Structures are given as structure tokens and as C-alpha cells.
Amino acid sequence: MKLFPILGGIHPEYRKELASEKAIVALPMPVALYIPLQQHIGAPAEVLVNEGDLVKKGQMIARSGGAVSSPQHAATSGRIKAVTDVTAPHPSGLPQTTIILEPDGKDEWGDLPEPITDPFTADPHAIHERVAQSGIVGMGGAAFPSAVKLNLGTQKKLEILLLNGAECEPYLTCDDRVMREYPDEIIDGARIMAHALGTARVVIAIEQNKPQAISIMTKAASAFPDVEVVGVPVQYPMGSERHLVQAITGRETPARKLTADLGVVVHNVATARAVHHAVRFGRPLVARVVTVSGGAIREPNNVMTPIGARIADLIEFCGGFSARPESIVNGGPMMGQPLASLDAPVVKGTSGILALTAEEINDRPTSACIRCGNCVTVCPCGLSPLDMAAFIRKDNLDVAAKLGVMDCFSCGSCSWVCPSHIPLVHYFNYAKGVLNDLERESRKNERIKSLAEVRIIRIEKAAEAKRAALAARKPASDAAPPSTGGEAKAATEEKANT
């Protein structure tokens, strides 16, 4: 298959060998699971259980909270200990509403929805329904509800389902292992999704630094003429949805558009496997493979983890720390976020937990920009990081916005390459946060404005009604057109009488 070049990018040290040869092992069931209501983009789920309830594995314990949302399920059987605030797996360490489940040790499945026996003749809606019900979200990290993305076929003409097995982040090997150990499940899930989307082709893209995964997946796909496996060049951030689409189709997704507008829908390989389980067995998403790695982890591994296990449980299972971790990262080292607490749980979007040593992080003092232009060369979005950062530093966010800071997807390439160690991506994260705040604020102001207007109109109406009533009591000839003063008076009267 002909591939197309992508813009910019870097070649960081991958260090995948730490975990890539470790077969997936299951985490022993922890003493408690912490299942947050919000593990996805969109509205949080709504709790369906109360303290003390007994639940079975796979039972829905929180239902979808809106059109873009996802339900949550019990990852094992047991008793609901509480529904309360627990630290979120988030750099802020802020709490969020979480269901605490005490496993009973039986790990008993509850009643599951019937398997869809022949998914390829099933109505696509039945598949959307099942995927939505099963709480499946994008498992590459973004955690966008998969059913919403599967619905795109009803709105747009789609050609390709692109399965993302690039795994371009250093250290992470969970997708690699899933592809090597469960290739048939992934391909079945992908074909079901392609049927639901109405795409004729499935393309599975894997970075060339995973030769075993490529050969195993190619073999598994050989039975299906509509499924093609391609090795893509090793170039960070190849696994970004837009860039992968560009590498495969040669077409660039315009800013603020979806890849679906180009006829391509991208799903992660692990998501495809989850779809296979949901459709063929009725099983919701209750566990995922997490790579635990980094120089400070004693035994790096790929761990099948029930959703809601604490990060501390995972680290302990991997032998604890062998060196002082300078930073614990949720996700990959490039785009992952530092974790504020090890008490936070593993959620559906957790692809890796990395404990990095000071050496690996290589945090050095910042010096002035030497205008070498390296950051411009590597930016895969064609932005000019040095200029944007300079304006943000001077609190000139308007100019940064004009330079396209909102198009930056925080891949971190610019920070990585900067010889002056300027925390470029940190500036952009800050600026995007502030700009989003302003946007929210102005939306609120709009609302407030209209609320105030509605109120004024209401008061005037009431005053008018009062005048009319007054006029009706008197002979019609007396009702002279009221002066503005009278109106104001009526308005104050109304105010006093409400």
C-alpha cells in the first residue's frame, strides 16, 4: 500500500523493550475497586446503585448521562461500599464522584445481554446499541464514547475503518501485546464495526517497530480480503488520528473537521477487541490491558486490570519501585499527564502507568530561546511554537490564538526538541485552558444577558397588563396613552408586588 509522508515529528528513545516481551498477566482482584462516573469525554454517568447493594460482574451500576456519555459496569461481583468523592486520575488530583465496590471474591458474571449471533446481517443500530450499552470508549487514551463514533456512518459517507495500532508513544506496549495475543478478536471486532459504519474496507496501521504484531495480524487478516494490515513508519506522533489518516490517504483533515469528513473513521485496536466481546458475548468493558513501565518500576509488565483498581495496586503488583520515581505518568511520556496521587483508579482510557526516574525525564533549567527553529521543524501541525510561547509569556493570548494555539494537540514534540528546555507545551496547555475559560465565560454572559432581557420583558408585560386592567375599570375615554413615567412607576410597583 502506498503511504504518504506526515509533517514534522520526532524520533524519541522508545524503550519499549522494557515491557514488550512480557505476556499479558491478570492483576489479582484488589480489596476494593474505585469506579468513577466520568471516565470518558461527555456527560458523567448517573448512579444506579446504593450503598450496600450486591452487584454481579458486568452489571450496569451507572447509566449513560446523555447523548455523548457512557455507562459504567461492575468489574467484578461484590457489594457497593459507598458512592463518594475519590481522587481522579488527573494532574490536578481533584476528586470526582466514584462508586466503591468491595469484591466478594467470586467474580461471578450477572445476566448479560444476549450475544448477537450473526452481527454481519444485524441492523447497524443493534450494534450501536450494544456498543453504547457496553460502556465502550476509545481505549487509546482519548476515551471518546465509541458508539457515537460508530454512528457517523448514518451521517456521512464512509470508506475506510482505520484501526489504530500505531502505538507511537514510547514505553507503551499494551496495544502491541493485545495484537500479538488476541489478533482474531481484534479483526472480528473491526469487521463488526466496519459493518456498523458501512465501510467497505478495514485498514489496520501498525508502526514498523512492532514486526511481530504486523506478521501475526497480517496472518490473521489473510482470510478476509477486505482487511489490510500496513506497517507505517516509526515517527512520533504517527498514532495521532489526523496524522495516521494523512499517512494512509494522503489527505489532511482541516482544522475543526473530523476525519470522518474525509470518509475515514479511526478506532483503537483494543476498542475493536472490546466490541468483539460486547457483540459476541454480551460482555461490557470491565477490564483493560495497562502497560506498567519506566526506569523506576522493578518489573515492568502488561497487566490485565479490572477498571477501578488503584494505581498503587498495579505498581505493587509490578514489584514496586526500584528507584525513586521523579514522576508518575498516566499514559505515555509524551502526551501523558503526571499523576497527583497513586490512590487514583485505572479507568477505561488508562493505557500506561509510568514511573520515570530523574534521568529519564531529563528536566533541565530553562534558558532563553536561541531561535534555532527546531520546534517549528518538528511541529506536526505546522505551527510556530516559539512565537506562540513568546506571546503567551507576555499574556498576549489573543495573538497566540491567532497563531493557532487551539490547533495544537499537545504532542510535546516541540518541548522535546528545544535545546533551551523551554516548557513550550506547558505554555500551550495553559493558554488553551485560559481560552476555553474565556469561551465558557462568554457563553455564560450571553445567557445572563438573555435572562436579564427576558426579565425586563416580563416586568413590562406585567405592568402593561396592570394598566390594561386599570383602564378597563374606568370608562375607555379616560385611558390616555400612559407616559413613560407612568410605565416606570408601574414597573416599580410590579417589582414591589412580586
- Using the rule CB under 8 A, is 472 a contact of other proteins? yes
Give which of 52, 273, 39 is closest to 163, Cα–Cα.
273
Residues that bind ligand SF4 (CB under 6 A): 369-375, 378-381, 383, 385-386, 408-414, 417-420, 422, 424-425, 428
CB of 403 to ligand SF4, least distance (A): 10
DSSP class per residue in 46-84 = EE---TT-EE-BT-EEEE--SSSB--EE-SSSEEEEEEE
Q: Which is nearer to other proteins, 179 or 411 (CB)?
A: 411
The residue type at 455:
R
Q: Give me Rg for the CA atoms of the chain.
A: 27
SS3 274: helix
Judged by CB under 8 A, the residue of 257, 371, 455, 461 near other proteins is: 455
Strands 264-268 and 160-165: parallel
CB of 425 to other proteins, least distance (A): 10
The residue type at 61:
I
The one-character DSSP state at 10 is B
Q: Which is nearer to ligand SF4, 370 or 456 (CB)?
A: 370
> How far apart (Å, rounded) are the C-alpha atoms in residues 151 and 282?
19
Q: Which is nearer to ligand SF4, 48 or 406 (CB)?
A: 406
CA angle 417, 423, 427 (to 5 degrees): 125
Residues 6 or more apart in contact with residue 192 via CB below 8 angstroms: 119, 120, 127, 275, 276, 279
For residue 445, the partner it binds in ligand SF4, other proteins, none, with Cβ less than 5 to 8 A by kind, is other proteins
- Using the rule CB under 8 A, is 225 a contact of other proteins? no
> How far apart (Å, rounded) are the C-alpha atoms in residues 71 and 46?
8
Burial of 475 (0-12, 13-18, 19+ CB in 10 A): exposed
Please, are residues 204 and 295 in contact by the beta-carbon 8 Å criterion? Answer: no
Segment interacting with other proteins, rule: CB under 8 A, options 60-68, 172-180, 235-243, 430-438: 430-438
Total binding residues toward other proteins, as defined by CB under 8 A: 46
Judged by CB under 8 A, the residue of 438, 486, 489, 493 near other proteins is: 438
For residue 171, the partner it binds in ligand SF4, other proteins, none, with Cβ less than 5 to 8 A by kind, is none
- Using the rule CB under 8 A, is 84 a contact of other proteins? no
> How far apart (Å, rounded) are the C-alpha atoms in residues 498 and 496?
6
- Using the rule CB under 8 A, is 444 a contact of other proteins? yes
Q: Which is nearer to ligand SF4, 290 or 369 (CB)?
A: 369
Please, are residues 281 and 166 in contact by the beta-carbon 8 Å criterion? Answer: no
C-alpha cell at 55: 452487584
Q: Which is nearer to other proteins, 2 or 473 (CB)?
A: 473
CB of 418 to other proteins, least distance (A): 13
Backbone angles phi, psi at 310, to 5 degrees: -75, 150
> How far apart (Å, rounded) are the C-alpha atoms in residues 259 and 245?
7
Of residues 293 through 322, those in contact with other proteins by CB under 8 A are none
CB of 30 to other proteins, least distance (A): 23
Of residues 111 through 170, those in contact with other proteins by CB under 8 A are none
Burial of 321 (0-12, 13-18, 19+ CB in 10 A): middle
Q: Which is nearer to other proteins, 198 or 423 (CB)?
A: 423
For residue 461, the partner it binds in other proteins, ligand SF4, none, with Cβ less than 5 to 8 A by kind, is none
- Using the rule CB under 8 A, is 40 a contact of other proteins? no
- Using the rule CB under 8 A, is 327 a contact of other proteins? no
For residue 414, the partner it binds in other proteins, ligand SF4, none, with Cβ less than 5 to 8 A by kind, is ligand SF4
- Using the rule CB under 8 A, is 461 a contact of other proteins? no
For residue 25, the partner it binds in other proteins, ligand SF4, none, with Cβ less than 5 to 8 A by kind, is none
Judged by CB under 8 A, the residue of 10, 20, 38, 164 near other proteins is: 38
Residues that bind other proteins (CB under 8 A): 38, 88, 90-92, 94, 96, 365-366, 392-394, 423, 426-427, 429-430, 432-438, 440-441, 444-445, 447-449, 451-456, 468, 471-472, 476, 479, 481, 495-496, 498
